[in-house]
């Protein structure tokens, strides 16, 4: 019985170690996203992006420059954006260095990780699905600071791997929490 308990404890420790770096857990190792390599990109910090000041990054002053250690991939606390203050069709959530975008009326969903490809091409690299396309398809989500005068707004464009636009450009406004009202679909 004592040996069985020891084996179970050892198995539990090995399982918990899988939550560390390099496995998509809370560690700071390599990316868990297979899509970064699909696009020839490497993981980087979304807090160092040009729109980092619109996020909830601990070490990011206005201007979007990451003041953390060079090469840091520290990400943001949860930040929500939508195309309407209530009942918006498009919702974007960014946490850590990952983005989750929903086109609620289209049944479109994108999940991706912030990275940089050659020629300083920084964006979210991931995949989208729809009700008609349930198998994840590689795609990228480009984000820029929104129009002047709309503090914290972002402009987003979702593209298939071949460059065709799936959604956008759409201006999204920062909201304090996820939208729970039904989308206003036209």
Q: Mean pLDDT throughout 23-41? A: 62
What is the per-residue pLDDT for 146? 83
What is the per-residue pLDDT for 128? 97
What is the per-residue pLDDT for 65? 43
Determine, yes or no, domain membership for 100: yes
Please confirm whether the linkage preceding 169 is cis (ω < 30° from 0). yes
Determine, yes or no, domain membership for 185: no
12 or 99, greater pLDDT: 99
Residue % of the chain over a pLDDT of 90? 44
Q: Mean pLDDT throughout 11-35? A: 42
Q: Confidence class of residue 74 from pLDDT cuts 50, 70 and 90? A: confident
Determine, yes or no, domain membership for 4: no
In this structure, how many other beta carbons lie within 10 angstroms of the beta carbon of residue 45?
A: 24
Q: Which of 32-41, 70-79, 135-144, 153-162 shows the lowest per-residue confidence on average (mean pLDDT)?
A: 70-79
Determine, yes or no, domain membership for 186: no
Q: What is the pTM of this model?
A: 0.75
DSSP conformation class of 40: T
25 Rama class: left (phi>0) / alpha (psi -120 to 50) / beta: beta
Determine, yes or no, domain membership for 23: no
In the predicted model, what is the mean pLDDT of the chain?
77
Q: Residue 87 belongs to what domain range?
A: 34-60+74-175
Q: Confidence class of residue 9 from pLDDT cuts 50, 70 and 90? A: very low
**Phi, psi angle pair for 81, to nearest 5°:** -140, 145
Q: Is the pLDDT of residue 4 over 70?
A: no
Count each helix (H run) and each strand (E run) in the chain, helices first: 2, 9
Determine, yes or no, domain membership for 183: no
Q: Confidence class of residue 20 from pLDDT cuts 50, 70 and 90? A: very low
Determine, yes or no, domain membership for 119: yes
Number of domains comprising the chain = 1
What is the per-residue pLDDT for 5? 38
Determine, yes or no, domain membership for 25: no
């Amino acid at each position: 019985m004592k040996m069985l308990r020891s084996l179970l404890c050892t198995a539990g420790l090995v399982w918990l170690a899988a939550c560390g770096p390099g496995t998509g857990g809370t560690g700071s190792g390599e990316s868990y996203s297979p899509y970064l390599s699909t696009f020839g990109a490497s993981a980087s910090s979304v807090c160092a992006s040009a729109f980092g000041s619109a996020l909830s990054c601990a070490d990011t002053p206005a201007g979007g420059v990451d003041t953390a250690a060079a090469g840091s991939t520290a990400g943001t606390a949860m930040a929500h954006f939508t195309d309407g203050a209530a009942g918006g069709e498009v919702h974007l959530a960014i946490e850590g260095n990952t983005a989750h975008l929903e086109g609620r009326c289209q049944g479109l969903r994108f999940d991706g990780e912030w990275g940089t490809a050659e020629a300083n091409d920084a964006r979210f690299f991931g995949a989208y699905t729809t009700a008609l396309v349930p198998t994840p398809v590689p795609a990228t989500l480009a984000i820029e600071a929104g129009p002047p005068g709309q503090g914290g707004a972002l402009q987003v464009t979702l593209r298939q791997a071949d460059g065709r636009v799936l959604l956008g450009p759409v201006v999204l406004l920062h909201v304090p929490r996820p939208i729970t009202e039904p989308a206003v679909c036209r």
